[in-house]
Structure 1
């Protein structure tokens, strides 16, 4: 049985992925989150709930031990968390990482929308996000970084992807689409290895998020 640890397991995308994994994949899930009482419906046969903070290296390295896949869906200061994730994976010999972040890591968002992102998020936040991605890309883990457009709760799974080095397209994406792409990554071990992938909803190019 595949072991998958979800870091930030109460996040909105993470909950969609968790639900689909339980329905569609023979996997044991480790649900890692800061407030474990938020999860009240864990399946004792297939899930282990661990209360912990990714900034706590000792707790993280213990939770990552024995896993096949680390899926990170986090908020906060990203650079120290990325460093801990890579360090814990190296210590435990875990190779596969799926890491969800936002668009604009490489100044790849063109035009007015790209300018607006930099201004609205702020220099400090954007640089922290970029440093975190660089830590992952400079590591020897088998990563897929998912650079998501602005998220909404629509039920559609209409999405397109762009590789690093290409201009980002679109402004929005459903959380269901991100979950669907993560499921594809988990189903196909050859898909987008050691890649940074932009994801958006086709036809949403605009100067601001097209809600």
Structure 2
């Protein structure tokens, strides 16, 4: 039975992934977040909740004891510093497998008018997330970077993948799809090692997401 450490465990995608883990796997979870009281609704013998900031390398390293996979669902203007802290802590703890949620556009891979709109709308957000991804790609970790399209709350799992170096497809994808992909990778951790995956719902091409 594998143990998964979830960083940023109260994020929307993370909460969906945690439910899928508990409903469909035998994995145990260690949930790491700054305000652990936010997860007081989770009561399960397979779940342990740890309070801490991701940039606190020592606390982060301690949280990695006896885990098999680290899943980082992080955000913020300091995302590059968070990536550096995760890499440092994983090295110190002797851990290798990391799943990292990023965003579309970090390689200028989004084509046409949608790419122009995405770049204009996200602005420096793309630059900071690109810098964080480069921290992982320059490391020796067995990472998988996930680059979702614009996220919806649709109750569906429907996605396709593109690789780094390929043109990004579509404009949207559900958070539930990203959560399922995370869980799928933890169940087959040898897949998608040192890959950066674009993720979209098929047949959602356009100049911008449908709700804009």
Determine if the TM-score, normalized by the shorter chain, exceeds 0.5: yes
Structure-2 separation of matches of 1:23 and 1:6:
16
Structure-2 separation of matches of 1:5 and 1:43:
17
1:44: how far off? 5.1
Show the counterpart of 1:46: 46
Deviations 1:78-134 (A, max 9, x none): 100000001111110111100011100100000111111111111x32211111000
Structure-2 separation of matches of 1:190 and 1:84:
24
Structure-2 separation of matches of 1:90 and 1:58:
12
Q: Write out the 4+ residue segments of structure 1 that deviate beyond 4 Å after TM superposition.
A: none
1:148, 1:173 within 8 Å by CA — same for their partners in 2? yes
Structure-2 separation of matches of 1:4 and 1:62:
14
Show the counterpart of 1:165: 165
Structure 1: segments with no counterpart, 5+ residues:
none
Q: Secondary structure at the match of 2:127?
A: helix
Structure-2 separation of matches of 1:190 and 1:50:
27
Deviations 1:7-27 (A, max 9, x none): 010111101111111122222
Alignment of structure 1 residues 41-190 onto 2, 5 Å: 41-43=41-43, 45-76=45-76, 77-122=78-123, 124-190=124-190
Structure-2 separation of matches of 1:187 and 1:5:
14
Q: TM-score, normalised by structure 1?
A: 0.96
Alignment root-mean-square deviation, CA: 1.1
Structure-2 separation of matches of 1:44 and 1:126:
37
2:169, 2:205 within 8 Å by CA — same for their partners in 1? yes
Structure-2 separation of matches of 1:18 and 1:38:
14
Q: TM-score, normalised by structure 2?
A: 0.95
